[in-house]
Each structure stands twice: as structure tokens, then as C-alpha cells.
């Protein structure tokens, strides 16, 4: 399975052939240009904002999210097949439906690869009739492996897309970004984070019981005997692994996870496992590696050496059935969903099969589908308007850097150079992925999934020794998201997010700047957040700040950490301001820079009052609107542990750090969100 390294997304995912543009600061004329001059009607409301979703009984200074979105939140139900529902989901559903239309047409063509993949997924009777027969040869390999053959089997598991004790990917070498290197990271646990095993609270106790039952159920489905005792042995083994894992904050630190080793050095640091056989088995010929969490590898290697082979076999059987659950009989799919969908996220029911068929096809053949999608649903005028917005926001970021009081002059020069070196990707890639080496067969769903995993693995490994693929994208055109890639020094915006409420060429400029403008600013500022700022204008992990810059930046970061640490999202469950710092900086800086770009886009004129709302009010409402989202409690609780983004309510509240928000909504001392001027966090 592939993994895109060193990127920061707008949302957790849970950021395609258009143009790659090198972003440069806008000219004065470009800065003055509004987002659109069209008189066509916007999709939402009279100017791009859904006024009916507001709750004006709430004071903006008490809860800006509820003021802007309260009626929407109260009246909107989460569909039974979703763990949360909001503006991202609305667009994702639209993208899914549009893609279904493309795939329904394609399945009538026997020569269409995407059509065959989609049709094979829809053919549930064939999947049920085959039962576990397609995966049995692999399960039998697991059942007969001994310790001597384990490293070779795990290498094969890697290529097959079956998770195990460690993961890896080929990405840029952070300190030599013109070269690819294989990076390894800790694995081995079936729940999303070590904290689910190690933190004692009521939520985790319930999840642990549900996971233990899940392990037992999967072993039973695989035809194994004595499933209860064997499940308990797997769980106990995984808990031991969790104890040696790095926590999420250390694992997110670009400096701490940069640990270059030779294979021999890894073997010396983590004895008890045949590293050379494993690494050569996955196709890596080079001797240098990056090992993200060295002490975790040391601990896991010892645990593997000491564990009974039967426990390891059982763990791999469970991982295999879980990993391929969506292409196996419904009993397996339902069991995986019962834990990962319902117990973890609170989702009552699985998606309809057609939706899962769309997701399967786009996950494995995303750019093949994407070519048809952008031809049909991404008009050139949207891209042109987005080009202008990006230029304006980049220019505003440059102005913000010039005006910083805490940054030293020599550092400002380097920061501006980094900004000037940005690459912006909008809509879709200018070069599409070649799937000609991937075989997709009719009526062979499991085989299609297995071969797709192997294709993705081989493609990822083939990067080694080759030139950096700057044309590649980490998201498909149908993805409702965006991302910043530190090593590439790029910001990326797939086609599907460039729609209302994020962006509407016919909407008021204030709404577009508060929506997609702040998203653009968010992704730009990721390159200057607590981790992105460690990379220079070439994408290299390097120290380019003075000690005074670092001290000032860290002081502002600590204030933002404290602000988010104080938010209690659920009873007894608070946010981790350190874990969410990068995304919170992204939101704060993105909104700040987008506001400045919006004001400049007016060319010195006052924005008109629309429906009784000033331009500044509309700007902040545009920001709030994109974060409309309702969560199931289980999903929200899980996100607090695993998602580096704050929940939508708290993301909206970042506006409390901006002076213009106070003036726009007459926020006064004593109101809940009020911060004294000296307490407002100002970074960029």
C-alpha cells in the first residue's frame, strides 16, 4: 500500500490532467481583481451563504459556530451510513453520485478497465458463491509459516496490502529532497492508536471489549478453532506492541522521525528480526533507510522474536481478512464494519453496495476515473477563477511576512524565497497515471483488489533510483480535500473541493475568500507551521530560522496550544493542543491571510452591504459555513485521539484571534469567546 509522506491535509481522510502552475506574487492589478465579476446567481442563498442555517438567537461572541450554523445543526440528521455529516460530506456524496454515472456507462464497455472493476464489485452473487476460496491460498501460507520464513512472508504481505508490524513507503529524503528513500514506520496494532490500549477510561474499556470480540469473530469466520483464547492472545500481544510505540506527538515531529540507517545498523539496533530478508523482499535494493521510530522497532523486533509463532499467524489472519473485507463475502465485510464502522465511529449501517463499488474503483483506479470526471464536471472558468484567488492569497502571505515584527530580516528573505518557489496544482494532474500494467478481470473482485495492491506497491518501490515525480498527485480529482506537500513545496486543490460552499464563481467575493480563500491560506501556511517551517525553499529539512525566530514562533505556538487544550469537546474529553497545533496554525494563518487578500481584492473600496451583512461579516460567515458538520459521539471521541484537526466547532472559533472579527460582530468582554487583545494569538 502506498503512503504519501510529509503532507498536511485540510481534513483527515480520511488532497488531478490540468495544469501545474508555479505560483508567483500577484501584481497590483491582479490583487485588485475581485474573485468574480459574474452576475449569475450563486448556488447558495442570494450571495453564496445559506442564511436559513443561522441561529440568530445566539450571540456571535458566545458561540460563533452556533450563530452561523446553529439552525442547520439542529435540523440536519446524520445519514445512517455515515459517522458524521457536513459540507465536506455533501460534496463527497455529490462526487460519489457523479462518479457512479461515469462508471455505470463504463461497465457497458468490456474494454473499459474502470467499468470491469466497478462491475466486478457490484457482482455480489459471485463474491458470495466463491466464499473465502480466493483468499485461502494466502491464509494457508500464513498458517504454515515458521519463524525462519516470517520475514519473507511479511515482505509478501507488504506487497499484497496486508498490514503487519511495520509499514513503509518510498518518498523524498527530507534532507536530500532530490532523492527517493524508503521510509519505515511503526505498526502492529489493530486499533487506530496506542492510546486505545493504554489509556484507562470508560470509552477505551468498551472499545477494547468490542475489539477483542472482533478478533474472535474474524478467527471464527476464517474457520479457526478455540477462537476466544486465540483472540485474547492476539490482543495481549498487540497491547505489548502498543507499549513500545511512540506517541502521536513524537511521531508527528519531522525532526525526531528523521533517522537514517543502513540495513546493518537497523539490524544492530533492533535484533531478533531478519531485516535484510524483509527489506530486500519488498524490493528495496538501496542500503539506506529512514526509520521513523527507532526505539519502537527495537521493541517490536524483540516482541516478534519472543512471541509464539501461532499468535503471529493468528494476527496476520485477522489482518488479512480485515484488509480484504470489502471484497470478500458479506459476513466478513459486516464483521469488519461492526468494529471499525460502528464500535469506533458509531455508524449504524454500511454503505449501499454501489457506493462501496464507486469507492473501490476510485481508490484503485482514481486517475483513470478522474479523466472522465474532470472532463464532465470541472469547467475551465472555475480553474481560471481559482488561479486568481491563489495568486491573491500568496501575495497577501508575502505581505504578512514583510510585516512580521518577530521575524528577523534575514529569515524574511528566506521565507519570501520559499513562498516564491511554491508550485500550485489545481483540479487535476497534467500527466495521468499509467495503469497498463494492472490487470482488472471481470468477476474477479478479490483478484482485482490483490493485483491493485501489488501494482501500487510496485509503482511506489519503482521510484527508488529515479527522478522525483513532481507531476504526481496524492489525491484524485474526485476528492473533497486539499493538501500541502513539504518536500515538493507545493499546495494542491482537487477539482471536487472547488464547489459551493467552498468556492462558487458566482458568489460574493467575501464568501469565496472566507471559504476557499482560507483553505488556500491554510495550505500555504502549512509550509510555515510547526513542522512545515522546518523545510526550506527546496523542500529540504534544514535549520533556516534564527534562534530568535524559533523562540518567538514557539511562544506563539504555546499560546495556541493552551487555547485548544482548554476546549472540552465531550464530557471529560479535551483536545490535545500539541497534537492539533499544525492544523490550528493552518486555520489561524489561513483565515488571517485570506482576510488580507479579500480586503486587497476590493481595490480600496468598501464592500457593499448584502442582506444587511457587511463584507467583513460575510467573510467570517463564509469561513463558518464550510465547517458545518454534525458528528456521532463515537466518531468525535475517536477523532480527539487520532485526528490532528480540531472538530468543526473549534475550527470555526479560531476567528476569535482576529481583530476584524470583533469589530464585525461587536464582540464584547464577558462573552464566551472574547479574548483581550493581548491574549489573541498572532503568528502570521
Number of domains in the chain: 2
> What local confidence, expressed as pLDDT, does residue 621 receive?
98
> What local confidence, expressed as pLDDT, does residue 13 receive?
56
On whether residue 439 sits in a domain, the answer given is no
Provide DSSP, 292-350: S-HHHHHHHHHHHHHS-HHHHHHHHHHHHHHHTGGGS-HHHHHHHHIIIIIITT---SP
As a whole number of Å, the CA-based R_g of the chain is 25
> What local confidence, expressed as pLDDT, does residue 22 receive?
23
Cell of 571: 464530557
260: CATH = 1.10.1380.10
Cell of 266: 537497523
Are 651 and 540 in the same domain? yes
Are 588 and 634 in the same domain? yes
On whether residue 553 sits in a domain, the answer given is yes
- Mind listing the pLDDT tens digit for each residue in 121-166? 999 999 999 999 999 999 999 999 999 999 999 999 999 999 999 9
If 0-12 CB within 10 Å is exposed, 13-18 middle and 19+ buried, where does residue 168 land? Answer: buried
Cα separation, 151 vs 156, whole angstroms: 9
Are 73 and 214 in the same domain? no
If 0-12 CB within 10 Å is exposed, 13-18 middle and 19+ buried, where does residue 272 land? Answer: middle
Are 283 and 137 in the same domain? yes
Cα separation, 318 vs 230, whole angstroms: 11
Task: Find out whether 628 and 73 touch, Cβ atoms under 8 Å.
Answer: yes
> What local confidence, expressed as pLDDT, does residue 206 receive?
97
Are 563 and 480 in the same domain? yes
CA 289 to the chain's CA centroid? 24
Residue 539: Cβ within 10 Å count: 23
- Mind listing the pLDDT tens digit for each residue in 413-436? 999 999 999 999 999 999 999 999
Task: Find out whether 467 and 58 touch, Cβ atoms under 8 Å.
Answer: no
- Bridge partners of residue 7, in order along the sequence: 485
Helix (H, G, I), strand (E, B) or coil at 405: coil
Are 339 and 396 in the same domain? no
Are 278 and 182 in the same domain? yes
Selection from 365, 315, 343 nearest residue 16 by Cα: 365
Low-confidence ranges of the chain (pLDDT < 50): 1-4, 14-38
Are 291 and 397 in the same domain? no
On whether residue 100 sits in a domain, the answer given is no
Residue 423: Cβ within 10 Å count: 15
On whether residue 441 sits in a domain, the answer given is no
Are 659 and 585 in the same domain? yes
On whether residue 2 sits in a domain, the answer given is no
Of the residues 292, 322, 344, which one is the last residue of a structural domain? 344
Are 187 and 53 in the same domain? no
The secondary structure element, H or E, covering residue 291 is strand 288-291
Helix (H, G, I), strand (E, B) or coil at 541: strand
Of the residues 291, 317, 344, which one is the last residue of a structural domain? 344
Residue 54: Cβ within 10 Å count: 20
Selection from 328, 319, 325 nearest residue 338 by Cα: 325
Q: Which sign does the torsion angle of CA 247, 252, 254, 259 carry?
A: positive
Task: Find out whether 11 and 645 touch, Cβ atoms under 8 Å.
Answer: yes
Preceding amide of 211 cis, omega within 30: no
Helix (H, G, I), strand (E, B) or coil at 30: helix
Between helices 330-337 and 309-323, what is the axis angle to 10°?
A: 100
On whether residue 10 sits in a domain, the answer given is no
Query: In three state form, how does the secondary structure of 642-669 look?
Result: HCCCCCHHHHHHHHHHCHHHHHHHCCCC
Domain that holds residue 225: 130-344
> What local confidence, expressed as pLDDT, does residue 10 receive?
81
- Bridge partners of residue 492, in order along the sequence: 425, 483
On whether residue 361 sits in a domain, the answer given is no
Q: pTM (2 decimals)? A: 0.93
567: CATH = 3.40.390.10
> What local confidence, expressed as pLDDT, does residue 16 receive?
24
Are 324 and 414 in the same domain? no
Could you tell me the strand order of the sheet in which 288-291 lies?
166-173, 176-186, 288-291, 260-262
Q: How many residues does the chain have?
A: 684
220 CB contacts (<8 Å, ≥6 apart)? 227
Of the residues 344, 370, 400, which one is the last residue of a structural domain? 344
On whether residue 91 sits in a domain, the answer given is no
Task: Find out whether 325 and 214 touch, Cβ atoms under 8 Å.
Answer: no
Are 277 and 398 in the same domain? no
Amino acid at each position: 500500500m502506498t503512503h504519501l509522506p510529509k503532507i498536511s491535509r485540510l481534513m483527515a481522510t480520511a488532497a488531478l490532467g490540468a495544469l501545474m502552475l508555479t505560483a508567483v506574487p500577484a501584481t497590483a492589478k491582479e490583487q485588485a481583481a475581485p474573485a468574480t465579476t459574474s452576475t449569475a446567481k450563486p448556488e447558495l442563498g442570494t450571495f453564496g451563504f445559506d442564511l436559513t442555517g443561522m441561529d440568530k438567537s445566539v450571540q456571535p461572541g458566545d458561540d460563533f459556530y452556533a450563530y452561523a450554523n446553529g439552525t442547520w445543526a439542529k435540523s440536519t440528521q446524520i445519514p445512517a451510513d455515515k459517522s458524521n455529516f457536513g459540507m465536506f460530506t455533501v460534496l463527497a456524496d455529490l462526487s460519489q453520485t457523479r462518479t457512479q454515472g461515469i462508471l455505470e456507462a463504463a461497465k457497458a464497455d468490456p474494454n473499459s478497465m474502470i467499468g470491469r472493476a466497478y462491475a466486478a464489485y457490484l457482482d455480489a452473487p459471485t463474491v458470495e458463491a466463491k466464499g473465502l476460496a480466493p483468499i485461502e491460498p494466502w491464509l494457508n501460507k500464513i498458517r504454515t509459516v515458521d519463524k525462519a520464513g516470517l520475514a519473507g512472508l511479511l515482505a509478501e504481505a507488504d506487497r499484497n496490502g496486508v498490514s503487519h508490524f511495520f509499514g513503509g513507503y518510498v518518498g523524498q529524503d527530507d534532507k536530500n529532497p532530490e532523492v527517493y528513500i524508503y521510509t519505515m514506520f511503526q505498526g502492529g496494532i489493530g486499533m487506530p492508536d496506542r492510546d486505545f490500549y493504554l489509556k484507562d477510561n470508560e470509552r477505551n474499556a468498551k472499545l477494547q471489549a468490542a475489539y477483542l470480540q472482533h478478533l474472535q469473530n474474524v478467527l471464527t469466520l476464517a474457520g479457526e478453532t478455540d477462537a476466544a483464547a486465540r483472540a485474547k492472545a492476539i490482543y495481549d500481544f498487540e497491547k505489548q506492541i502498543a507499549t513500545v510505540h511512540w506517541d502521536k506527538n513524537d511521531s508527528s515531529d519531522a525532526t525526531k522521525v528523521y533517522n537514517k540507517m543502513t540495513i546493518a545498523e537497523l539490524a544492530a539496533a533492533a535484533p531478533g528480526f531478519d531485516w535484510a530478508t524483509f527489506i530486500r523482499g519488498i524490493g528495496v535494493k538501496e542500503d539506506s533507510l529512514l526509520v521513523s521510530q527507532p526505539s519502537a522497532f527495537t521493541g517490536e523486533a524483540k516482541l516478534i522474536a519472543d512471541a509464539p509463532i501461532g499468535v503471529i499467524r493468528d494476527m496476520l489472519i485477522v489482518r488479512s481478512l480485515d484488509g480484504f473485507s470489502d471484497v470478500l463475502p458479506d459476513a466478513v465485510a459486516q464483521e469488519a464494519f461492526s468494529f471499525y464502522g460502528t464500535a469506533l465511529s458509531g455508524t449504524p449501517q454500511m454503505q449501499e453496495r454501489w457506493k462501496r463499488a464507486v469507492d473501490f474503483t476510485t481508490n484503485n483506479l482514481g486517475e483513470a476515473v478522474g479523466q472522465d470526471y474532470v472532463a464532465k464536471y470541472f469547467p475551465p472558468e472555475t480553474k481560471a477563477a481559482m488561479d486568481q484567488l491563489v495568486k491573491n492569497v500568496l501575495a497577501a502571505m508575502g505581505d504578512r511576512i514583510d510585516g512580521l515584527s518577530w521575524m528577523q530580516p534575514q529569515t524574511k528573505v528566506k521565507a519570501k524565497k520559499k513562498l516564491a518557489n511554491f508550485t500550485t496544482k489545481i483540479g487535476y494532474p497534467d500527466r495521468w497515471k499509467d495503469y497498463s500494467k494492472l490487470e482488472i478481470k471481470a468477476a474477479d473482485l478479490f483478484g482485482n483488489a490483490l493485483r491493485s495492491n501489488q501494482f501500487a506497491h510496485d509503482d511506489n518501490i519503482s521510484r527508488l533510483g529515479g527522478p522525483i515525480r513532481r507531476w504526481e498527485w496524492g489525491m484524485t480529482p474526485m476528492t473533497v480535500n486539499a493538501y500541502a506537500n513539504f518536500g515538493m513545496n507545493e499546495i494542491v486543490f482537487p477539482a471536487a473541493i472547488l464547489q459551493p460552499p467552498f468556492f462558487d464563481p458566482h458568489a460574493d467575493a467575501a464568501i469565496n475568500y472566507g471559504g476557499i480563500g482560507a483553505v488556500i491560506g491554510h495550505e500555504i501556511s502549512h509550509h510555515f507551521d510547526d513542522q512545515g517551517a522546518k523545510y526550506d525553499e527546496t523542500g529540504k529539512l534544514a535549520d533556516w530560522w534564527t534562534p530568535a525566530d524559533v523562540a518567538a514562533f514557539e511562544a506563539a505556538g504555546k499560546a495556541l496550544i493552551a487555547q485548544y487544550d482548554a476546549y472540552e469537546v465531550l464530557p471529560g474529553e479535551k483536545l490535545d493542543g500539541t497534537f492539533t497545533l499544525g492544523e490550528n496554525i493552518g486555520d489561524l494563518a489561513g483565515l488571517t491571510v485570506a482576510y488580507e487578500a479579500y480586503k486587497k481584492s476590493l481595490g480600496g473600496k468598501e464592500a457593499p452591504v448584502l442582506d444587511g451583512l457587511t463584507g467583513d461579516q460575510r467573510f467570517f460567515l463564509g469561513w463558518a459555513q464550510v465547517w458545518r458538520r454534525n458528528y456521532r459521539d463515537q466518531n468525535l471521541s475517536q477523532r480527539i485521539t487520532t485526528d490532528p484537526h480540531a472538530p468543526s466547532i473549534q475550527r470555526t472559533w479560531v476567528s476569535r484571534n482576529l481583530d476584524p472579527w470583533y469589530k464585525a460582530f461587536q464582540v464584547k468582554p464577558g462573552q464566551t469567546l472574547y479574548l483581550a487583545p493581548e491574549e489573541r494569538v498572532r503568528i502570521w
